Structure 1
């Protein structure tokens, strides 16, 4: 039973870690910008999936205007991105150019008859049920729908560093457990076994007297 609980615990931990990386690390989509607009939003239960108010504005106001970028992917499905500053908060993209990015996206709008494709770098998820949108970080024109998204060197670097740190911690924990914890547990088990034997001998001596 204890083994099952331990496996469930570690599976849950690694699923949460993987979800955190998938949400926060940058991704690139090749899309066609169809429209840009501004909409007032009132973050509620999904507020954790919205960034803070733009740097320099009044962050105490519950609702605020948010920029959005409407697009169509190469296969034709729709994807909508929000365009918010991240400022000095999390994730640490230090994005302060929301208005400039909205202007760039508006300038790259195109129609189905005369498409212009762009690469939008973003983080986050799109979920219609929770009304959450990925946050656009940058937008730049590309040659066409088959343009390369590039190698995600930053993602590879961050994940490699993370796994290296985890492996280092695991190695040190394993050495500590073998050197300190395992001998202590074996000594405790031996003491318990000796105590159990002594009790059994004592009880046996009383049976003989009876």
Structure 2
């Protein structure tokens, strides 16, 4: 039972870690921009999935106007991105050019008859139930729907460093456990076994006297 709980704990931890990195690290989509618009957004239980207000504006209000970029994927599906500053907050993209990005996206709009494809770099998830949208970081024109998304060097570097740190901590923990914890547990077990044996012997002596 203890082993099962331990496995369940570590599976939960790694699922949360994977979800954190999948939400936070940048991804790139090849899409066609169909429209750009601005909409008043009221924030509620999903506010954690929205960035802060634009730098220099009042961030204490519970609603504000948010830029959106409406697109269509190469496969035909629809994807809508929000366009918000991240400022000095988290994730640390230091994005301050929301208005400029909206202008660039508006200039790259196209129709199905005369498509123009772009690469939108973003982070976050799209979920209709929670009303959350990925946040666009940058947009650039590409040659066509089969254009390369590029090598995600930032993701590779961050994940490599993360697993290097995890491996280092794991190795040191194993050494510490082998040198300090395991001998202590073995001593406790041996002491418990000796006391148990002594108690059993005493009960045996008592039975003989009876």
Q: Do both proteins adopt the same fold according to a TM-score greater than 0.5, normalized to the shorter chain?
A: yes
C-alpha separation between the residues in 1 aligned to 2:145 and 2:209? 94
Aligned to 2:149: 149
C-alpha separation between the residues in 1 aligned to 2:201 and 2:60? 74
TM-score, normalised by the number of residues in structure 2:
0.99
Q: What do you get for the CA RMSD once the two structures are aligned?
A: 0.5
Name the SS of the counterpart of 2:14 in structure 1: helix
Structure 1 moving runs of 4+ over 4 Å = none
Tell me how far 1:206 sits from its aligned partner: 1.2
Unaligned segments of structure 2, at least 5 residues: none
TM-score, normalised by the number of residues in structure 1:
0.99
Tell me how far 1:46 sits from its aligned partner: 0.6
Aligned to 2:209: 209
Aligned to 1:121: 121
**Deviations along 1:33-73, whole A, 9 cap, x unmatched?**
00000000001111110000111000111100000000001
Tell me if 1:54 matches 2:54: yes
Map residues 73-88 of structure 1 onto 2, 5 A cutoff. 73-88=73-88
Name the SS of the counterpart of 2:16 in structure 1: helix
Tell me how far 1:75 sits from its aligned partner: 1.0
Map residues 13-162 of structure 1 onto 2, 5 A cutoff. 13-162=13-162
**Deviations along 1:123-172, whole A, 9 cap, x unmatched?**
00001111100000000000001000011111011000000000000000
State how many pairs are aligned: 210
